[in-house]
Structure 1
Amino acid sequence: MKRWLRFTAAVLAAAFLFALTGCGSSTNSASFTWFVDSIPANLDPQVASGASDVIACENLYGTLVRKDPNGELVPGLCEKWTVSSDGLTYTFTLKDGLTYAAAKGAATEYDITAEDFVFAFRRIFRADTASPYAVEFSAIQNSAAVQAGLADESSLGVSANGALTLVFRLSERDDNFLAKLALPGAAPCDEAFFESTRGTYGLTAKTTLASGSFYLYNWTTNGLFLRRTVESPLVGSLRLVQDTSGSGKSAAQLIADDKCSAALDESGEATSLQTVSYSDTTWALLFNTAEGSVFQNQQLRQALAGIARENATVPSGGLYAAAKGLVPEGLTVDGLDYRDAAGDPLPTISEPKALYLAARQGMATSDFSGVTLLLPKNAGLGELADQINSAWQKECSLFFSVEEVEQDEFDARIAAGKYTIALAPIRAEGGSVYQMLQQFTAEGGSLTGYADPVYADRLALSAQQTGKARCALLAQCEQQLLESCTVVPLMAQQKRLLLANGVRDLVFDPFFPVLDLTWAKMS
């Protein structure tokens, strides 16, 4: 039975942990400002998926465990936990006296109990919730059957043993299960309050209850503002707003002008600010292998790929680094460093000119009519494209034209398959290795017309696995894709977070995304 108490009001993935500064201040503590592309629109933690929504939920809601500034998992809303010897049962003891806070920190009649976590996880696996967290918690007992409507949600392997004891039962080991419990989707949800909102849970200030260190102070078209009652040096408020200055200033200048506390940057310009570098984008050659294309010939693709890799020089300036695979360094799968686990998937292409001569047997010169190398205008990669094209001309006597088009046209032609060769950015949206590889299946858009049933089946199977098993399947997919030379990774685009000085103990991960100010301080 859920307890009711009146109270006085008093959040992931592997993260970058570092010090940075905030700007502005509240009465007794500092304020941190972060620019978002759009103002948070959904604060339902089991549903939120947009970057700004997720960041807001990370700070607004508590979870059983959290990552501390040292990258260690520590108790959040729980007092302690135990794991069975077989790794299939997790038992948590919640802290006593936990309560929710309403808008502006107002007191409510809702306390946080184990039943709230049970309800939250049942919501995750309800088909009508369409929670993005269902795949993360697929190891929970009976989760697939519940989600498919084949079993009652009461059979889900999440149960409460009294108000303060929560038990998870898994159908298979998931060595990253504990870390996943720091995700916003694993936050508690009070069933009675949820039902009272009549479908508007987390969509308005009145239908939102905070369970984290911050509470919702204000939510308007101008931004979302969170606060907490703390003393300096802890950061006491978080402002998620849009840059409406229209100044076009660089990230570094915005920080210097105290417009924001930190900002993402892709300029590569020299700066005295602290930086954290990362990459979620690999620039690669794409060969259109659709039916009727000259590049259905794998030997031809391999020959041109080998020549391109031998002769392409990474542009100077610090914006790019040589690719070590299609998937850039730094991405994780179930808490494991994917690139470390997968190794080097780049195929060795020996004697590419001999491959080319073998591929040309039976081909006519006219087969290459209309072949162009497509790239987006203003990407600053015209010299690289000319370099590759010149190498093909020198080694194979192939004369292709380089075609630069505006970004919108480039995106449309890639999506429609209206190109022969392209120099294109392949992105891992949300830091997902699976999503990056899925773009080369029919379901994911089939960027190059690549259609291999073994690849598609193996990739689909990876979504049903966890940990090392999932990494291994994804690595096999990446290697298979690259050995076919339908996509040829050349360089990883470097991005960075620019940081001012002063605030420490902020947890940041660009891929999930994570911007957790639970421990953030400003000296």
Structure 2
Amino acid sequence: MKHTGSAAVLGALSLLATACGGAAESPSGGSAAGGTFTYALRADPGVLDPAMGALSVTNTVLSLAYDTLTNVGPDGKIIPGLAEKWDVKPDSVTFTLRKDVTCSDGSKLTPADVAANIDHITDPAAKSPINGVLVPAGMKAEADDAAGTVTLSTPKPFSFILESTPIIFIVCGKGLKDRSALARGTSGSGPYTLTEAVPGDHYTFRVREDYAWGPGGATTKAPGQPATVVLKVVPNEQTAANLLVSGDLNGAMVQGSDRARLEAMPGIGKSIQSAGNGQFFYHQGDDRPAKDPAVRKALTQAINLTELAGIASGGTGRPATGLVLEPRPCRGDTVTGHLPAFDPAAAAAALDAAGWKAGADGVRAKDGRKLTLRLLYGTTRGAGVQAAAEYLAAAWKKAGADVTLNGVIDTKLSESLATAQDWDVAWLPIGVTLPTQLVAFLSGPAAPKGSNFAHLTNTRYEELVTEAVTKPGADGCKLWLEAESALFENADLVPVVENTTLVASRNATFQMQAELFSPTSFRMTEAG
């Protein structure tokens, strides 16, 4: 299989893992007319061209202004969006578009507009980081404006060709002719239009009063729909929590120490949502100790994963059951029973058997080379990740490894993983919505030539995904689930915990899915 990818996409899939589903419901009184909804962004979204939307915080912003061909319902099923119906084949899907959709500049959305989006993303000259990951590799688009249809096709059968479309934002109108205007502006068919962008500070959107093609026929005419949405860049969670309590924010996502304070506070709407997995990868390059599967499994046996899960999540996580976020297209637990059990004595024996003998200083060595591990992690992922890294280091030192902690800010993490390659173990959160989005990172050409940053070579995984990707949707799920388990059985990566986050609200209600807003769900409520 051929894949495309980049360090930027690695950041999209793993550094800002996404929250999924649910609503932040305020306990306040009845709906309030119009008004301004203010939400805290954890980082600046950067360039706002949807074709360059690698970070989930960027896509949070884009979800206000852009629609997608389809949407995902609360039960995980695909429902209409810009397309009112579709016909799916193993290697193509033909969408019939709604006829009433207009872009923010007043122009009518056409099938040719949709096709132009796909053509731009897949054009190598565009260097889109979502090509081959969020948009299937080799996808082509053919528009029939007279029939009102657009057909998306792939060179070979692709299992989630329909399920890929809820995450592809469609640009229309003037933005198709001048994409440079999208860096700090919007040109979409969504419910809101960007009116002011102050990078590093705030982004202001104004409602489109003519919007009438949201999920289930949702419009912007409902009582309480805010006329203005302001997204404030608030990197510090404590600051965001304080602003929420004071009423200066209507919504924020909180994972750290302030979460408990907000959960216990009256007047705060609360929704607990999935926020991606916490796990660690072993670097399997030729010169790394974890190249040997016996070493990987022994190092995994040396860790009490249940304790580590509690530490990493601050006690707010759930047992990891897979790599894909809810609502998953393939249901099942791929983790339980597929990881070596905690057994320090067995870990020591396995390292002995692999030739790593303890020296006088307690550090193991083989052929004159010490068992050294450089542990890479993101420092801006919260105190839990720092504590998890320290826990891993202590356990592996006890097992006879010489461990060095290497904490870097998140914006440098993908560069360190894919380019510098100066690591042996990496703690790396993941948040993807389809198993196909991971394949380029778990197989294929190794970094820096490809996206396979950990230099994984798991023949069983590769065989399973090669077959699975040719089967439509649910037909391939058994294979996709087996493929994940094959990674864990080989200790290529070790899932530790499914993180959760608090989506908190005050004087408003709203819904999010995969860290994307459902803008027509925004409701301002009377202060209570």
TM over 0.5: yes
**Residue-by-residue CA offset, 1:160-187 (whole Å, 9 max, x unaligned):** 252x6214264677675455443343x2
Q: Is 1:276 the equivalent of 2:254?
A: no
Match of 1:239 in 2: 230
Match of 2:124 in 1: 127
**Residue-by-residue CA offset, 1:3-31 (whole Å, 9 max, x unaligned):** xxxxxxxxxx99503134599xxx94132
Report the secondary structure of 2:228's partner residue. Answer: strand
Match of 2:142 in 1: 158
Distance in 1 of aligned mates of 2:318 and 2:134: 35
Q: Is 1:117 the equivalent of 2:114?
A: yes
The question of whether the paired residues in 1 share the 8 Å contact of 2:279 and 2:497 is answered with yes
Shift in alpha-carbon separation, 1:22–1:463, aligned structure 2, 3 A:
farther
Counterpart of 1:227 in structure 2: which amino acid?
A: R
Q: Is 1:438 the equivalent of 2:434?
A: no
Shift of 1:275: 3.0
The question of whether the paired residues in 2 share the 8 Å contact of 1:20 and 1:502 is answered with no
Superposition pairs for residues 169-180 of structure 1, below 5 Å? 170=153, 176-180=160-164
Q: Which runs of no fewer than 5 residues in structure 1 stay unpaired?
A: 1-12, 103-107, 148-155, 393-397
Distance in 1 of aligned mates of 2:116 and 2:289: 56
Shift of 1:117: 2.5
Distance in 1 of aligned mates of 2:494 and 2:88: 45
Shift in alpha-carbon separation, 1:46–1:294, aligned structure 2, 3 A:
closer
Once structures 1 and 2 are overlaid, which stretch shifts more, 211-220 or 36-45?
A: 36-45
Shift in alpha-carbon separation, 1:81–1:256, aligned structure 2, 3 A:
same
Alignment counterpart, residue 51 of structure 1, candidates 56, 65, 75 = 56
Distance in 1 of aligned mates of 2:81 and 2:409: 45
Distance in 1 of aligned mates of 2:346 and 2:73: 55
Counterpart of 1:255 in structure 2: which amino acid?
A: L
Q: Is 1:81 the equivalent of 2:121?
A: no
**Residue-by-residue CA offset, 1:319-343 (whole Å, 9 max, x unaligned):** 3647546x456356xx5146x2646
The question of whether the paired residues in 1 share the 8 Å contact of 2:103 and 2:188 is answered with yes
Shift in alpha-carbon separation, 1:403–1:364, aligned structure 2, 3 A:
closer
**Residue-by-residue CA offset, 1:78-118 (whole Å, 9 max, x unaligned):** 5x42537989553415224x43333xxxxx5x323333223
Superposition pairs for residues 257-268 of structure 1, below 5 Å? 257-268=246-257
Match of 2:387 in 1: 380
Shift in alpha-carbon separation, 1:382–1:282, aligned structure 2, 3 A:
closer
Shift of 1:262: 2.0
Alignment counterpart, residue 494 of structure 1, candidates 491, 499, 510 = 499
Alignment counterpart, residue 100 of structure 1, candidates 94, 103, 107 = 103
Report the secondary structure of 2:182's partner residue. Answer: coil
**Residue-by-residue CA offset, 1:268-327 (whole Å, 9 max, x unaligned):** 54223413232423244x6665546655554454344334348956546843647546x4
Bigger CA radius of gyration:
1
The question of whether the paired residues in 2 share the 8 Å contact of 1:225 and 1:237 is answered with yes
Counterpart of 2:277 in structure 1: which amino acid?
A: T
Match of 2:489 in 1: 483
Report the secondary structure of 1:427's partner residue. Answer: coil
**Residue-by-residue CA offset, 1:218-253 (whole Å, 9 max, x unaligned):** 334443211123463123222122138x8x735432
Q: Is 1:19 the equivalent of 2:19?
A: no
Distance in 2 of aligned mates of 1:130 and 1:20: 40
Distance in 2 of aligned mates of 1:87 and 1:288: 34
CA RMSD of aligned residues (A): 4.8
Report the secondary structure of 1:278's partner residue. Answer: strand
Structure number with the bigger relative contact order (C-alpha 8 A, sep ≥ 6) is: 2
Match of 1:224 in 2: 203
**Residue-by-residue CA offset, 1:128-174 (whole Å, 9 max, x unaligned):** 234455446877xxx83xx7xxxxxxxx5532252x62142646776
Superposition pairs for residues 328-367 of structure 1, below 5 Å? 328=323, 330=325, 336-337=329-330, 340=332, 342=334, 344=336, 346-348=338-340, 353=345, 356-357=348-349, 360=352, 364-366=357-359
Match of 1:425 in 2: 427
The question of whether the paired residues in 1 share the 8 Å contact of 2:460 and 2:483 is answered with yes
The question of whether the paired residues in 2 share the 8 Å contact of 1:159 and 1:168 is answered with yes
Tell me the percent identity.
15
Match of 1:9 in 2: none
The question of whether the paired residues in 1 share the 8 Å contact of 2:274 and 2:326 is answered with no
Match of 2:166 in 1: 182
Q: Which runs of no fewer than 5 residues in structure 2 stay unpaired?
A: 1-17, 210-220
Report the secondary structure of 1:264's partner residue. Answer: strand
Distance in 2 of aligned mates of 1:120 and 1:166: 14
Shift in alpha-carbon separation, 1:120–1:349, aligned structure 2, 3 A:
closer
Shift in alpha-carbon separation, 1:204–1:447, aligned structure 2, 3 A:
closer
TM-score normalised by length of structure 1: 0.69
Counterpart of 1:242 in structure 2: which amino acid?
A: V
Shift of 1:425: 1.9
Q: Is 1:168 the equivalent of 2:151?
A: yes
Shift of 1:59: 1.9
Report the secondary structure of 1:336's partner residue. Answer: coil
The question of whether the paired residues in 2 share the 8 Å contact of 1:34 and 1:262 is answered with yes
Report the secondary structure of 1:428's partner residue. Answer: coil
Q: Is 1:214 the equivalent of 2:192?
A: yes
Distance in 2 of aligned mates of 1:87 and 1:291: 37
The question of whether the paired residues in 2 share the 8 Å contact of 1:276 and 1:497 is answered with yes
TM-score normalised by length of structure 2: 0.68
Match of 1:454 in 2: 459
Shift of 1:517: 1.0
Alignment counterpart, residue 94 of structure 2, candidates 82, 90, 93 = 90
Shift in alpha-carbon separation, 1:365–1:40, aligned structure 2, 3 A:
closer
Shift of 1:492: 1.3
Shift in alpha-carbon separation, 1:469–1:251, aligned structure 2, 3 A:
farther
Shift in alpha-carbon separation, 1:240–1:463, aligned structure 2, 3 A:
farther
Superposition pairs for residues 370-409 of structure 1, below 5 Å? 370-371=370-371, 379-381=386-388, 384-385=391-392, 388=395, 399-400=400-401, 407=408
Aligned length: 461
Q: Is 1:252 the equivalent of 2:255?
A: no
Shift in alpha-carbon separation, 1:250–1:158, aligned structure 2, 3 A:
same
